[in-house]
Amino acid sequence: MATVIPYFERFIQRFPTIIDLANAPIDEVLHLWTGLGYYARARNLHKAAQQIRDEFGGQFPTDFADVFALSGVGRSTAGAVLSSVLDAPYPILDGNVKRVLSRYFAVEGWSSEKTVENKLWDLTARVTPTSQVADFNQAMMDLGAMICTRSKPKCFLCPLEKGCQANAQQAWADFPAKKPQKALPEKQSYFLILKQGTKVLLEKREAKGLWGGLYVFPQFEHLDDLKRSVSGKNLQMTQLIAFRHTFSHFHLDIYPILAELSLQKNAEVLPLGVAENQGNYHLRVSSTADYWYDLTQPSEVGLATPIKRILDELTLTLGQKNGA
């Protein structure tokens, strides 16, 4: 939570209203989100703001179906917003509430498995009152976050201790069941860091898919492919320290390759794709998706976390060379 607060404050300061967010360029939204991960949430938030602007005149809807139809909004989020703002009798089911209900009613199984989740929805609907709903939902979330925690729950402080079936069985650790584990697949990617002076080449990813809409270094699955993509002229190539970045569904081993271009006026960077030209290969740099990022004057664009890590290291190295 402490990590998120500065991001939240900067975000609200820049976008104090729904209209401000809706009218902002997506690159600026992603820039303010850089470092948090889960970039789909930023894109959904931006799109939802535009839906509210275009379909509801900038006023947040109050009908459950309308809120549920907003980009990125699920049943629990819709319920949380409407119960909080209108005190409307809508149940919620975030991770904390799932844990409280799973233990109190000794619900077996992983809480995000569909049949188990449906049972938990039935339970949360059953226990949610028709009045003071905002207080109740907030209390359930707080109870799971601070008392009925994932490990070392403070059962002796819990107001639900006496009726809790997991506590009666002294089996809180069994509820909810852990997510079925499977080994994450491993992938690798070679990042081409094409650098000229204080600038490095980035390219913008398509809106959908991994790192959608963010700026990244050109990526290659194999080192040979990377080498074939650049001309051998005026280049000095160095492999930087490799590192691993883990997503929810796979590990990505990243191998950054620094390729420095000559600063002379006639240094050759041709507007070609990976196309052969008299035995040499050249990198496409003319596309509208390509962008020269100045390390000394960072741009306000969205950056994937591993990209920002590399850029920070390059900036630090540049500062050391310049005696900064």
Average pLDDT over residues 80-85: 96
Amino acid in the structure at residue 161? E
Q: State the pLDDT at residue 278.
A: 29
Is the same domain home to 143 and 71?
yes
The radius of gyration computed from the CA coordinates of the chain, to the nearest angstrom, equals 25
pLDDT of 108 above 70 = yes
Average pLDDT over residues 225-239: 79
Whether the Cβ atoms of residue 308 and residue 35 lie closer than 8 Å to each other: yes
pLDDT of 267 above 50 = no
Is the same domain home to 64 and 165?
yes
Asked whether residue 180 is domain-assigned, the answer is no
**CATH assignment at residue 270:** 3.90.79.10
CA nearest neighbour of 160 among 147, 179, 169? 147
Q: Which of 146, 174, 202 is the last residue of a domain?
A: 174
Is the same domain home to 134 and 15?
yes
Asked whether residue 181 is domain-assigned, the answer is no
Q: Which of 174, 200, 232 is the last residue of a domain?
A: 174
In angstroms, rounded to a whole number, what is the distance separating the alpha carbons of residues 21 and 37? 19
pLDDT of 276 above 60 = no
Please state which of the ranges 58-62, 104-108, 177-181 shows the lowest mean pLDDT.
177-181
Q: Write out pLDDT tens, residues 122-135.
A: 999 999 999 999 99
CA nearest neighbour of 307 among 44, 37, 42, 28? 37
Residue 13's domain comprises 4-174
Is the same domain home to 215 and 167?
no
Is the same domain home to 29 and 91?
yes
pLDDT of 269 above 50 = no
What value does the mean pLDDT of the chain take? 88
State how many domains the chain has.
2
Average pLDDT over residues 161-186: 94
**How big is the CA angle at 98 (ends 85 and 149), to the nearest 5 degrees?**
100
pLDDT of 204 above 80 = yes
Amino acid in the structure at residue 280? N
Q: State the pLDDT at residue 323.
A: 63
Q: Write out pLDDT tens, residues 22-37.
A: 999 999 999 999 888 8
Cα separations in angstroms, 132 against 60, 65, 99, 135: 21, 22, 22, 5
Please state which of the ranges 6-20, 167-181, 252-266, 308-322 shows the lowest mean pLDDT.
252-266
| pTM of the complete model | 0.74
Cα separations in angstroms, 203 against 177, 194, 221, 312: 42, 11, 16, 17
Cα separations in angstroms, 224 against 58, 108, 245, 285: 51, 50, 22, 19
pLDDT of 54 above 80 = yes
CA nearest neighbour of 230 among 188, 280, 278? 280
Asked whether residue 71 is domain-assigned, the answer is yes
Is the same domain home to 149 and 273?
no
